[in-house]
Structure 1
Amino acid sequence: MIGDITGYMDVAQMTLYAFWLFFLLLVLYLHRENKREGYPLETDDYRRVKVVGFPGLPDPHSYKMLHGADDIVRPGTDRPEYELKAKRITPHYSDPFHPTGDPLVDGVGPAAWAIRPDFPDLTFEGEPKVVPMRVATDFKVAHQDPDPRGKAVLGLDNEVAATVTDLWVDRSEPQVRYLEIEVRENGKRALVPLTLSRIRSDGTVKVHCLRAAQFANMPTLSNPDQITLQEEDRVCAYVGGGTLYGTRERTEPLL
Structure 2
Amino acid sequence: MHTELTARMDVAQIALYAFWIFFAGLIFYLRREDKREGYPLLYEDDGSRSSVGFPAFPGMKRYLLRGGHTATVPNWQNDRRDAPVTPAAPWPGSPYVPTGNPMLDGVGPASYADREDVPELTMGGVPAIVPLRADSSITIEQRDPDPRGMEVFGADGEVGGVVRDVWVDRAEMLIRYLEVEVSGVADRHVLLPMTMARIKRKWKGHHVAVQAVLGRQFADAPLLANPDQVTKREEDRIVGYFGGGNLYATAARQEPLL
Task: Give the structure-1-normalised TM-score.
Answer: 0.89
Aligned to 2:198: 198
How far residue 229 of structure 1 moved from its aligned partner, in angstroms, is 0.9
- CA–CA separation in structure 1 for the residues paired with 2:184 and 2:7: 85
- CA–CA separation in structure 2 for the residues paired with 1:20 and 1:241: 48
Counterpart AA for 2:150: K
8 A contact 1:58–1:75 mirrored in 2 = no
How far residue 75 of structure 1 moved from its aligned partner, in angstroms, is 3.0
Aligned to 1:45: 45
How far residue 33 of structure 1 moved from its aligned partner, in angstroms, is 2.3
Q: Which runs of 5+ in 2 are unaligned?
A: none
Task: Give the structure-2-normalised TM-score.
Answer: 0.88
Aligned to 1:9: 10
Aligned to 1:55: 55
8 A contact 1:67–1:126 mirrored in 2 = no
Aligned to 1:28: 28
Q: What is the aligned counterpart of 1:233 among 210, 231, 236?
A: 236
Secondary structure at the counterpart of residue 242 of structure 2: helix
How far residue 62 of structure 1 moved from its aligned partner, in angstroms, is 2.0
8 A contact 2:150–2:163 mirrored in 1 = yes
8 A contact 1:148–1:205 mirrored in 2 = yes
Percent of pairs with identical residues: 44
Q: 1:235 to 1:22 in 2, by over 3 A?
A: same
Q: Which runs of 5+ in 1 are unaligned?
A: none
Aligned to 2:70: 71
Instruction: Give per-residue Cα distances to partners, 1:64-116, cap 9 Å, x unaligned.
Output: 22124x42222346565552101123322333222111100001111111121
- CA–CA separation in structure 2 for the residues paired with 1:76 and 1:86: 23
Q: 1:194 to 1:4 in 2, by over 3 A?
A: farther
Moved more, 24-33 or 126-135: 24-33
8 A contact 2:78–2:113 mirrored in 1 = no
Q: What RMSD in Å do the two structures reach over aligned CA positions?
A: 2.2
> Runs of 4 or more off by more than 4 Å in structure 1?
76-82
Counterpart AA for 2:228: D
How far residue 136 of structure 1 moved from its aligned partner, in angstroms, is 2.5
Aligned to 2:135: 136
- 1:251 and 2:223 matched: no
How far residue 7 of structure 1 moved from its aligned partner, in angstroms, is 4.2
- CA–CA separation in structure 2 for the residues paired with 1:30 and 1:130: 37
Q: 1:228 to 1:6 in 2, by over 3 A?
A: farther
